[in-house]
Amino acid sequence: MIHLNELNALSKEQRPAVELRDVWYSYDGRSYILRGIDLKVLRGSSLMILGSSGSGKTTLLKIMCGLLKPSKGSVSILGAEVTDPSNGNHIRRQIGYIPQQLGLVRSLTVLENVLMGALPRMGFVNSLLSIYPKSEVEFAEQCLGVVGLSHKAGEKVYRLSGGERQRVAIARALMQKSRIILADEFISELDYVRAREVMDIMSNLRREGVTLICVTHDVDIAAEYGENAVILRGGEKVVEISARKLTPDLLKESFNED
């Protein structure tokens, strides 16, 4: 048994879910938003990214999911290079990206939004005519079940509460069959209880091998639900520790140093 565990640990070590090597990013070629970020996130682990506004957290996530190309350095997802164009869509399917405002289409129903996660695996005509195979619809209903929203499947998204919308976004990420979920401060508008409900759903997913990378302002949430944590300042990684050791003082300290 011990031997097996070691083997598991070794394979985790060899193929991290996300690996960034010396990543730099600039919009204009002059000022850099990210400066030489090195990061390794193991499969099934959870990483919390903290930092003041404008420290490059969102940019970092967008680079991980391939929305932005790094100006310098390389990014690999589950061992495949993101910068290699031949990997493009294949990599996107591995990653569920939940932006800050969730990116849900408010005028469509909950089920329609979740089904959007299946669009890249569907044929051209069927996807435009919304002819989803029965298996996909059943899978979408399962995903809604995981986040506890089966009863709202036919509801338009603009009728949902904030917490329910977060859960739709998670269900859509699940629909992508993604192995990695990137979430950008998506629980920041929720109250104490709702935020923990949503995070509980996320940590349950981790048990099934999903890797979780969250940007958050909330030290308590980060310490409770994170395994590791990094703090960014001015586009640089200034702290990388076990999430349990996060304290408000540490955060304050790493925000203020200039």
Partner 1 sequence: MKIKRTNVQIWLSLLIASAVLLHNMGFFDPSRLKTGLANISLFIRELFPPDPSVVGQVSWAIVETIQMAFAGTVLGSIVSIPLALLGARNIISGVPNAIARLLLSVVRVVPALLWAIIFVVAFGLGPLPGTLGLAAYSLGYLGKLYYEAFEAVDPELLEATKAIGCSKLQQIRYVIIPETANTIISQFLFLFEYNVRASTILGFVGAGGVGFYMLGYIQLFQYQRLMTTLLLTLCVILFIDFVSAKVRDRFLIHISK
Near partner 1 by CB under 8 A: residue from 31, 107, 135, 256: 107
Residue 21 has a CB neighbour count (10 Å cut-off) of 15
Closest contact distance (angstroms) between CB of 51 and partner 1 is 20
Angle value at C-alpha 179, between 176 and 181, nearest 5 degrees: 80
Considering only residues 2 to 31 of the shown chain, the ones binding partner 1 according to CB under 8 A are none
Taking the least distance from each CB to partner 1, the nearer of 154 and 193 is: 154
> Which one of residues 49, 110, 112, 232 is an interface residue with partner 1 (CB under 8 A)?
112
Residue 108 interacts with partner 1 (CB under 8 A): yes or no: yes
Report the nearest approach of partner 1 to the CB of residue 214 (Å): 16
Mark 96-134 as b/e (b = at least 16 C-beta within 10 Å): bbbbeebebeeeebbbbbbbbbbeeebeeeebeeeebee
Select from 127, 142, 150, 203 the one that contacts partner 1 (CB under 8 A): 127
CA 171 → CA 21, 54, 194, distances in Å?
A: 31, 29, 16
Contact criterion met (CB below 8 Å) for 36 and 235: no
Q: Which is nearer to partner 1, 215 or 246 (CB)?
A: 215
Question: Residue 255: which of 64, 59, 62, 54 has the closest Cα?
Answer: 54
Task: With CB under 8 A as the rule, give the number of residues binding partner 1.
Answer: 32
Half-sphere exposure of 99 (CA within 13 A, CB side): 10
Stretch that binds partner 1, among 13-21, 109-117, 142-150, 231-239 (CB under 8 A): 109-117
Among 66, 70, 226, 235, binds partner 1 (CB under 8 A): 66
Stretch that binds partner 1, among 29-37, 39-47, 69-77, 112-120 (CB under 8 A): 112-120
* Contact assessment for residue 45 and residue 13, using Cβ atoms and an 8 Å cutoff: no
158 binds partner 1 (CB under 8 A): yes
With tokens 């508008």, the residue in question is 189
Q: Using CB under 8 A, which residues numbered 75 to 104 contact partner 1?
A: 89, 92-93, 95-104
Which residue in 119, 137, 201, 223 binds partner 1 (CB under 8 A)?
119
Out of 7, 9, 67, 131, the only residue in the binding site for partner 1 (CB under 8 A) is 67
For partner 1, the binding residues (CB under 8 A) are 62, 65-67, 89, 92-93, 95-108, 112, 116-117, 119-120, 124, 127-128, 158, 172, 176
